[in-house]
Amino acid sequence: MEAAFLQLVQQHAGILHKVCNLYCTHPGDRQDLLQEMMLQLWKSFPAFRNEAKLSTWIYRVVLNTAITAFRKEEKRPATQALTEETILYDREDDASLYNEQWKMIQGAIGDLTDIEKAIIILYLENRTYMEMEDILGISQATLRVKMNRIKEKLRKKVNAQTF
């Protein structure tokens, strides 16, 4: 089971990191959240019986953990400035390109609500509305309305930055 779990986690490492980056701005909180996701995946892995798609199961566990985890970050100001310290990884192997890209993504998505972040993550991960409904429990019609609202928010943000 360990080998299968390791393979699964390595295959989906990208999404785990991306979700941590979007839900936490502080490096310590990101690491805590990553560990929490890993533990939750590990605990629920034996119960996974292919009733749902593997990717659906992973997104569910990862997003449920990110949204309901009682993070230390809640004690910090909600609109914490995105400083170099909070954005950059403290690991030596982090490419600056990676950090630059994340700065841009966080700048755009960082202000969305937790639910909106979950929706945009699944959208960016190329999930269909049917899968999104399965993962989030929000009807496809509502998801479409919310997605339009998110697009509008992003557009307004771009305009605000331009002028």
Q: How far is the CB of 34 from another protein (least distance, A)?
A: 7
When the beta carbons of 16 and 87 are compared against another protein, the nearer one is 16
109 binds another protein (CB under 8 A): yes
145 binds another protein (CB under 8 A): yes
61 binds another protein (CB under 8 A): yes
106 binds another protein (CB under 8 A): no
Q: How far is the CB of 98 from another protein (least distance, A)?
A: 6
When the beta carbons of 87 and 109 are compared against another protein, the nearer one is 109
Hey, what amino acid is at 104?
M
55 binds another protein (CB under 8 A): no
Q: Give the residue from 80, 77, 75, 97 showing the smallest Cα distance to 88.
A: 97
39 binds another protein (CB under 8 A): yes
How far is residue 54's CA from residue 48's CA, in Å, rounded to a whole number? 8
When the beta carbons of 13 and 80 are compared against another protein, the nearer one is 13
Please write down the HEC assignment for all residues of the chain. Answer: CHHHHHHHHHHCHHHHHHHHHHHCCCHHHHHHHHHHHHHHHHHHHHHCCCCCCHHHHHHHHHHHHHHHCCCHHHHCCCCCCCCHHHHCCCCCCCCHHHHHHHHHHHHHHCCCCHHHHHHHHHHHCCCCHHHHHHHHCCCHHHHHHHHHHHHHHHHHHHHHHHC
Q: How many residues bind another protein (CB under 8 A)?
A: 61
Residues in touch with another protein (CB under 8 A): 6, 9-10, 13-14, 16-18, 32, 34-36, 38-40, 42-44, 47-48, 57, 60-61, 63-65, 67-70, 74, 95, 97-98, 101-102, 104-105, 107-109, 113-115, 118, 124-126, 134-138, 141-142, 145, 151, 154-155, 157-158
